[in-house]
């Protein structure tokens, strides 16, 4: 029988949580897989057709490599793939593909992986857990992956609405990472540490205005990447004047993530219509 499942889009960083924090969003990569004669991918959405349709596809390539890591051989799979996640736009499309590959290896090789194992496998592929983590767990994910260790916690975010603004161009993650400095001053590191700590307790105490102010105080990546996104200032002006808590770069961009009150979300999406060229849409937080 075919194995069907879906993996959510994710928005990494949330401002100061560079390479560490991420949020699962209600847009999905959908997979239906069954054993076949050879590795084959059938795309159900036209925009996916730029991707390889054989074992070089990131989903299958990951599945093959994960099977090998556990000393198994993945049987040839025929998969159908549909997606609501734009590619190379900072919404975790590669992480969703990697986690789909982990899921396929787990299912077809009977690996019995836990969520922790899946986040670990995904982090080994991506180098950081901020997209693969919430793609497995849902909700708000905060993780540390380094020196072969992985620690994480998750939290359901209540009483918040999310909007994504998606510009029409792509930003290569490698280029967006190359835009960052190689090192940070002690002053910046100490400030950033304080910003993160207070931000997390603000979330736990449902103090979203403080959370929002700190989300927009990042010193690790936003200051170096905002110039890559022409609409950054305009979108922020509209969302913040509409009462949003924060607008930050989603992952490595160019999409922006806005968090706001449920009762404000439709009005802010409508106001964002004035920032043309981008697609602005309300998106559920998936938890
Ligand atoms: N934390 C990563 C970055 C996410 O901002 O570069 C994209 O892989």
pLDDT score of 1: 83
Pocket test for ligand 1, best of 92, 177, 221 (most atoms within 8 A of CB): 177
Q: Which whole number is the average pLDDT over 190-211?
A: 97
Residue 85: strand, helix, or coil: coil
Cβ(251) – ligand 1 distance below 6 Å: yes
CA distance 211 to 241: 17
In the chain, the percentage of residues whose pLDDT exceeds 90 is 98
Of 149, 154, 173, 128, nearest in space to 19 by CA: 128
CA distance 163 to 195: 23
Q: Which whole number is the average pLDDT over 75-84?
A: 98
Interface pTM, i.e. ipTM: 0.98
- Residue 112 phi/psi, 5-degree rounding, is 65, 40
Q: How far is the CA of 51 from the centre of ligand 1 (A)?
A: 21
Q: What are the tens digits of pLDDT across the range 145-185?
A: 999 899 999 999 999 999 999 999 999 999 999 999 999 99
């Amino acid at each position: 029988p075919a194995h069907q499942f879906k993996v959510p889009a994710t928005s990494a960083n949330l401002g100061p949580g560079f390479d560490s924090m991420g949020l699962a969003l209600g847009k999905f990569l959908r997979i239906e897989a069954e054993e076949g004669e050879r590795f084959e991918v059938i795309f159900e959405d036209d925009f996916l057709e730029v991707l390889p349709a054989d074992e070089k596809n990131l989903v299958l390539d990951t599945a093959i490599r994960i099977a090998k890591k556990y000393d198994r051989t993945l049987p040839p799979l025929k998969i159908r793939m549909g997606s609501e996640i734009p590619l190379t736009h900072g919404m975790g499309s590669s992480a969703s593909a990697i986690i789909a590959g982990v899921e396929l290896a787990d299912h077809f090789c009977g690996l019995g992986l836990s969520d922790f194992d899946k986040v670990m496998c995904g982090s080994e592929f991506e180098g950081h857990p901020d997209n693969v983590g919430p793609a497995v767990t849902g909700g708000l994910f905060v993780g540390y992956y380094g020196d072969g260790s992985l620690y994480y916690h998750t939290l359901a975010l209540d009483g918040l609405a999310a909007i994504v603004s998606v510009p029409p161009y792509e930003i290569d993650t490698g280029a967006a990472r190359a835009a960052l400095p190689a090192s940070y001053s002690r002053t910046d590191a100490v400030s950033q540490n304080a910003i993160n700590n207070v931000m997390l307790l603000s979330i736990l105490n449902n103090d979203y205005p403080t959370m929002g102010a700190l989300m927009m105080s990042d010193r690790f990546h936003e200051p170096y990447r905002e110039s890559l996104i022409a609409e950054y200032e305009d979108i922020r002006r509209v969302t913040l004047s509409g009462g949003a808590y924060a607008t930050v770069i989603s992952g490595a961009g160019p999409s922006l993530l806005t968090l706001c009150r449920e009762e404000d979300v439709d009005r802010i999406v409508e106001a964002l219509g004035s920032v043309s060229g981008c697609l602005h849409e309300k998106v559920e937080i998936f938890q």
